[in-house]
Amino acid sequence: MTRRLPTNFVIGGVLVALVVGTAALSLVWTPHNSTQMAISNKFAAPSSTYWLGTDQLGRDVVSQLMAGARNSMSVALIAVLMGGSIGVALGLMASAIGGWVEDGVMRLADLGFAFPALLFAIMLAAVFGPSLGNAVLAIAFINIPVFARVTRGAANQIWTLDYVSAARAAGMNRFAISRDHILPNIGAVIIVQATIEFAVAILAEAALSYLGLGAQPPAASWGRLLSEAQTLMYLAPQLAIYPGLCIVVAVLGFGLLGDGLRDMSEPRLRRER
């Protein structure tokens, strides 16, 4: 039986492929060096050499946007991997042990929700000074409670199934059951969540870099490009457009892809979203 793929999955997939492809391409090739300045050539109009023109320091806009894609993807990947693996581990542990450990982990997760990424990044920036690394840490941190909750909820359902009881009866310990039976069965839920958190992380990185708490000059980041463009809004409004569009495309892409993956993994829930 062939089933049509959900529309949001297809659109999301195309957008994600575009962004990830651009980021990958920027590793080996960009039209120009994204940080190379040429003051004499500032605010150049779009041309065959500079497809979207140049900025106030004569840097090629397209190259900067491509480098920005690479920056966004790596920050989101590291932050979601870090926060996700800690959160999944905590969630599995809470579900496997239960009792006060489960309560404790869930209370800690509640606590984590009191700190938006921005507040955490602000604290880190105040203590250590602003840096991209601190921004990554802050985004990773807010992912921990999200993944802990989702993992524990999904894992608790699997623990009630017969074959898990059978494995316990066969003398498997809880760690081994979590690894061999629980984790593979909640993989879909975690991947869906990770895709959605990827979108959240891209937005967070852009906001933090815009506010000066993330990528520092001259590193290219969509958020930082926008903060530079803001001071030039009367001179070169076009510079305030492109990086924002890139953010929207990337966030929309991962968001739709996540929704689509969820629709495919839980057809029951598909009807009214």
Partner 1 sequence: MGYFIFRRTVGFILTLLAVSVVVFAVMNVLPGDPALTILGMDATEDALAALREQLGLNEPLLTRYVNWVWNALQGDFGISHSFRVPVADLIVERLLMTVSLAVAGMVVTLILALGLGIGAAAQHRKFGDWGVMFLSQLGIAVPAFWLSMLLVLLFAVNLRWLPPGGFAGWSDPMAAIRSLILPTIALAVVQSAVLARVTRSAALEVMRQDFVRTARASGLSRRRVLWRHVLPNAMVPIVTIVGMQFASLVTGTIVIENVFYLPGLGRLIFQSISNRDLPTVQALVMLFAAIVVTANFVVDLLYVVIDPRLKARA
Residue 54 has which token pair? 């140049």
- Residue 149 CB partners (closer than 8 Å, separation 6+): 91, 106, 109
Token pair 């920027």 is at which residue? 26
For residue 223, the minimal CB distance to partner 1 (Å) is: 8
200 to 229: interface string for partner 1, x by CB under 8 A: ---x--xx--xxxx---------x--x--x
Q: At what angle do helices 242-265 and 61-97 cross, to 10 degrees?
A: 30
69 burial (CB, 10 Å; 0-12 / 13-18 / 19+) is: buried
Closest CB to partner 1 among residues 52, 167: 52
**Among 5, 17, 33, 113, which residue interacts with partner 1 (rule: CB under 8 A)?**
113
Q: How far, in Å, are 69, 150, 171, 266 from residue 215 at the CA level?
A: 13, 30, 51, 38
Q: To the nearest whole angstrom, how small is the minimum distance from the Cβ of residue 210 to partner 1? A: 5
Q: Does 199 sit near partner 1 (CB under 8 A)? A: yes
Is residue 70 within 8 A of residue 38, CB to CB? The reply is no
- Choose between 41 and 238: whose C-beta lies nearer to partner 1: 238
Q: Tell whether residue 14 is a contact of partner 1 (CB under 8 A).
A: no
In the complex, least distance from residue 240 CB atom to partner 1, rounded to whole angstroms: 5
Q: Tell me: does residue 109 bind partner 1 (CB under 8 A).
A: no
Q: Which of 104, 184, 237, 267 binds partner 1 (CB under 8 A)?
A: 237
The smaller minimum CB distance to partner 1, of residues 127 and 170, is found at 127
Q: Which of residues 49-108 bind partner 1 (CB under 8 A)?
A: 107
* Tokens describing residue 49: 């050499």
Candidates 158, 247, 257, 261; binder of partner 1 (CB under 8 A) is: 247
Q: Where are the alpha helices (DSSP H) in the chain?
A: 7-28, 61-97, 99-112, 117-128, 132-159, 162-169, 174-177, 183-210, 222-230, 242-265
Residue 167 or residue 213: which is nearer to partner 1 going by CB? 213
State which residue, 84 or 243, has the beta carbon closest to partner 1.
243
* Matching residue, tokens 């955490």: 120
- Sites for partner 1 among residues 127-146 (CB under 8 A): 127-130
Q: Minimum distance between the CB of residue 112 and partner 1, rounded to whole angstroms?
A: 9
Nearer to partner 1, 7 or 173 (CB): 7
Q: Choose the binding region for partner 1 from 25-33, 67-75, 83-91, 125-133 (rule: CB under 8 A).
A: 125-133
83 to 33, 143, 207: CA distances (angstroms) = 33, 5, 19
3-state secondary structure 77-95: HHHHHHHHHHHHHHHHHHH
Cβ-in-10-Å burial (0-12, 13-18, 19+) of 131 comes to middle
Q: For the CB of residue 34, give the shortest distance to partner 1 in the complex, in Å.
A: 20
Residues at the contact surface with partner 1, assessed by CB under 8 A: 107, 110-111, 113-120, 122-130, 199, 203, 206-207, 210-213, 223, 226, 229-230, 233-234, 237, 240-241, 243-244, 247-248, 251-252, 255-256, 272-273
